[in-house]
Amino acid sequence: MFSDLYNEGVQKIYLDYNATTPVRQEVLDAMLPYFKNFYGNPSSVHSLGQETRKVVEDAREKIAVLLGAEKPSEIVFTSCGTESNNYAIKGVAFALKNKGNHIITSKIEHHSVLEVCQYLEKKFDYRVTYLPVDKYGIVNPNDVEKSITDQTILISIMHINNEVGSIEPIEEIGKMTKEKGVIFHTDAVQSCGKIPLDVKNLGVNLLSLSGHKFYAPKGVGAVYIKEGTKLHPLLHGGAHEKNRRAGTENVAYIVGLAKALEIAHRDMDGESKRLLNLRQKLEDGIFEKIGSVQINGNPQKRVFNTSNISFNCVEGEGILMSLDIEGICASTGSACSSGTLEPSHVLSAMGIPPGISQGSVRFSLGHYTTEKDIDKLLAVLPKIIERLRAMSPLWNK
């Protein structure tokens, strides 16, 4: 079991599920036959190939149903959320370059969206509007509408922010983009598997997801592409995925992706209630035992498993190192930007001063999180904060 991992005799408590998740046993069991027994190339015409072709198409159909897509062909398999985001944004930009060169996104997007937009600006002279957010990390739909011009070809706004868990008004923006006739993409990497997704209700043309955020393996993802949406291919080579994504399909991982999403939907109601209760216990305990803290993100419109907390006059990296010694794994934000000393771009966009944002820690809970894990955190964290503050010149002013 995942919680049975040990490091130098210390039992690991994992509170970093927004960074990645372990592969669930049911998912692994579903995948194993396709590593050894059913190994045919889905593009091959012989029986081994056609067996795996059917498996891939069954997985595609299952995911389409779970996302509310009208047709299985609207699901294209990729290697991860980063590839899905790159494909969606570059694909639209290059396919519609003769129609316009304006893209709208937000300042709190994942780096796999922001850096793609910056690349298009620098190398191909696209214009990008980076929308602000409020103090809770929420985009104002009115700002989206005001930014649309006759040159706007794409709007890309994430569904749930990976650092603070705030849920964006995607349905409201989706209605607007449909009226304006602008293609709408959402990065749903943090929402897929946690909350119900229906692409028709969301009003999106494109939606990205990544398997390792909901207990499938790393290295597999997908992008929903509404029928009729024009995308220039990101990868060139064979005619795989109906000429939309070259490369032999990763059969075992695709099976795992579909199985993991099926399990997530099966368990969604119970897990969301359980983890919300654990998060409330965590936050109540921190406020009771530790002073001068604040929760970052929307109080109501926040995904149930995520708690981003700032501890005044303490460096987040120091907290993480101290927690790790105690066998507790957390993070300061996006795993893709770990190692940087720069303040979180998300917290900065929310107007949180660097001195506070650099003392922020993200606790993200998941399937294997238990009440004992939260009890352990609440037992060691106050002592860690007390020790670090005692050494802080800011705290002792």
As annotated, the active-site residues are 336
Angle between helix axes 81-95 and 111-124 (nearest 10 degrees) is 30
For residue 232, what is the enclosing H or E element? none
Q: What are phi and psi of 289, to 5 degrees?
A: -100, -20
Q: Are 204 and 175 a contacting pair, CB within 8 Å?
A: no
Distant-in-sequence contacts of 236-244, Cβ < 8 A, 24+ apart: 238/43, 240/43, 241/76, 241/77, 242/73, 242/76, 244/76
What burial class does residue 40 get, using C-beta atoms within 10 Å of its C-beta: 0-12 exposed, 13-18 middle, 19+ buried?
A: middle
Q: How far apart are the two ends of the chain, measured CA to CA in Å?
A: 46
Residues contacting residue 223 through CB under 8 Å, at least 6 positions apart? 75, 76, 78, 84, 87, 88, 206, 207, 208, 209
Cα separation, 271 vs 301, in Å, equals 18
